[in-house]
């Protein structure tokens, strides 16, 4: 099946700093989603982005499908941005999301 790798695995940020999280995937995808998992375990949808660029407030994401990677940008980070960010990909003709191991982000005040 498809392999999804996220980097860096752990990131500590000072409040106000910017950061970039990367997701590499091993095959062509029909769907690419970014999630934020809150401390209670809930996965919050951030972006549905099989290709192109999207922005939502201080977050933006870019997927370059032909090069099999996606980036999540966090600007002017806040302590509420802390948590685990997951990238998940769906192969063409498939229905199971394949998740990476996540990026653990800690934003310190």
Partner 1 sequence: DTGVSQDPRHKITKRGQNVTFRCDPISEHNRLYWYRQTLGQGPEFLTYFQNEAQLEKSRLLSDRFSAERPKGSFSTLEIQRTEQGDSAMYLCASSYSGAAGRGYNEQFFGPGTRLTVL
Closer residue to partner 1 (CB): 35 or 60: 35
- In terms of CB distance, is 59 or 97 closer to partner 1? 97
Nearest to 10 by CA among 70, 82, 68, 77: 82
Q: Which are the contacts of 101, defined by CB distance < 8 A and separation ≥ 6?
A: 5, 6, 9
Cα 88 from Cα 53, distance rounded (Å): 16
Q: Quote the least distance from Cβ 67 to partner 1, whole Å.
A: 22
Whichever of 16 and 48 has its CB closer to partner 1, that residue is 48
Taking the complex as a whole, how short is the minimal distance between the CB of residue 8 and partner 1, in angstroms? 15
């Amino acid at each position: 099946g498809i392999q999804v790798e996220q980097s860096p695995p752990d990131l500590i940020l000072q409040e106000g700093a910017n950061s970039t999280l990367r997701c590499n995937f091993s095959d062509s995808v029909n769907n690419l989603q970014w999630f934020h998992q809150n401390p209670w375990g809930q996965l919050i949808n951030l972006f549905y982005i099989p290709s192109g660029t999207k922005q939502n407030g201080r977050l933006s994401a870019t997927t370059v499908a032909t090069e099999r990677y996606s980036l999540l940008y966090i600007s002017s980070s806040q302590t509420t941005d802390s948590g685990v960010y997951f990238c998940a990909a769906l192969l063409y003709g498939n229905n199971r999301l394949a998740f990476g191991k996540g990026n653990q982000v800690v934003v310190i005040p």
